[in-house]
């Protein structure tokens, strides 16, 4: 079923909207949650919460790319759950991603009121637009999809050390870009 048709089911408050969503994007949502949460039960709960969030937000939302919309809902819920989980449920991969992305936080000298979300969105996407497709894909796979280095390397036909170098350089560029733009987190 097309995304448009599934969204129409939501608008019509049809009971099959969720089942069609799960049929088409269930595995995708599980993979997003599963990369962040080590517990299958937690991942399952987050995916179910994402379906509920989709049900409650559509309408009035009318997403054009349903997979990305669901992916964002799932990602958000999973990260929130991950942060709330105890140490025993933490993952070395996800902790590493948190540590790495923290390197991009601009220098404390630029401290001030937190940058408006619209400005931050424009800055992030302008920066990503300036990268080569390869570097951008590596960056998004690591920090949006929270994929392990090995998985990023495999999917981009690069070696792991290549990926690490690309990420390190991109983080450095990103931090300098945010500082230059006066962005604060």
Partner 1 sequence: MKRKRMMDSMNLIDDRYVEEAKPGAYRPRRRVWFRVATVAACLAVALSALGLWMFLPFRETNGDVTQYRDSEYYEIIRKLDDFYQNRGDQPRNNFELYVSPIFQDGIRIAKMYSMDAVIMESKAETRAAGESWAYASKENPTDLQVSGVDETDLIKRTASHIFYVDDDDFTLFAYSIDGENSEAVGKYAYGGRQKGDYQHCRGMYLSEDGNTVFLILFGWDRDYPVTKLAVLDVSDPANITEQKCLIVRGSYATSRFVDGTVLLMTYCYFNKTPDYGDETTFIPQVDTGDGFCGVDADHIVCPERLSGCSYTVVSAVDAETLEILGTEAYLSLNENFYVSGDSVYLFRLEQDYVGLREVECKDAEATFKAYTYDSTFSKTVISRLGYRDGLRDLGSVAVKGWIKDQYSADEYEGVLRVVTTVDSNTFVGPESYSFENTVNASLYCVDTETMKVISAIESFAPAGESVRSVRFDGAMGYVCTSIQAKDPVFFFNLSDPENVTYTHTGTIEGFSTSLVNFTDGYLVGIGVGESAINLKIEVYKEAEDQVVSVCKAEKACWYSDDYKSYLIDRKNGLIGLGIEEESYYVEDDCEGSRYLLYRFDPESETLTEVCNIAIPGSVDRKRAVYIDGYLYVMSWQYFEVVSLDAAAR
Where along the sequence are the contacts to partner 1 (CB under 8 A)? 1, 8, 11-15, 19, 23, 31, 40-41, 59, 64-65, 67-68, 71-72, 75-76, 79-80, 83-84, 86, 88, 97-99, 101-102, 104-105, 114, 117, 120-121, 124-125, 128, 133-134, 136-137, 140-141, 143-145, 147, 155-158, 185
Shortest reach from residue 75's CB to partner 1, in Å: 7
Which is nearest to 31 in space by CA: 152, 140, 147, 136? 147
Query: What are the distances in angstroms from CA 48 to CA 2, 67, 95, 169?
Result: 21, 15, 24, 37
Q: Which is nearer to partner 1, 46 or 79 (CB)?
A: 79
Q: Which is nearer to partner 1, 128 or 164 (CB)?
A: 128
Round to whole Å and give the CA distance between 15 and 162: 47
Shortest reach from residue 82's CB to partner 1, in Å: 9
Round to whole Å and give the CA distance between 113 and 165: 32
- Both tokens of residue 173? 């560029």
Shortest reach from residue 101's CB to partner 1, in Å: 5
Which is nearest to 37 in space by CA: 6, 80, 3? 80
Shortest reach from residue 161's CB to partner 1, in Å: 17
Shortest reach from residue 21's CB to partner 1, in Å: 13
Q: Which is nearer to partner 1, 11 or 150 (CB)?
A: 11
Residue 106 neighbours by CB under 8 Å, 6+ apart: 175, 178, 179, 183, 184, 185
**HSE, side-chain direction, 13 A CA sphere, residue 132:** 5
Shortest reach from residue 185's CB to partner 1, in Å: 5
Which is nearest to 39 in space by CA: 70, 84, 82, 77? 82
């Amino acid at each position: 079923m097309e995304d448009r048709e599934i969204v129409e089911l939501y608008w019509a408050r049809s009971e099959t909207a969720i089942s069609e969503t799960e049929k088409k994007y269930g595995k995708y949502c599980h993979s997003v949650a599963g990369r962040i949460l080590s517990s299958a039960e937690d991942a399952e709960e987050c995916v179910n919460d994402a379906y509920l969030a989709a049900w409650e937000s559509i309408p009035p939302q009318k997403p054009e790319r349903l997979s990305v919309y669901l992916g964002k809902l799932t990602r958000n819920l999973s990260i929130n759950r991950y942060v709330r989980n105890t140490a025993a449920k933490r993952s070395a991969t996800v902790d590493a991603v948190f540590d790495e992305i923290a390197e991009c936080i601009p220098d404390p000298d630029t401290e001030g009121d937190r940058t408006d979300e619209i400005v931050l969105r424009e800055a992030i996407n302008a920066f990503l637009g300036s990268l080569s497709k390869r570097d951008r894909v590596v960056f998004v796979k690591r920090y949006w999809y929270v994929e392990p280095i090995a998985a990023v390397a495999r999917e981009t036909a690069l070696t792991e050390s290549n990926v690490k170098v690309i990420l390190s350089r991109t983080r450095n560029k990103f931090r300098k870009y945010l500082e230059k733009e006066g962005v604060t987190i």
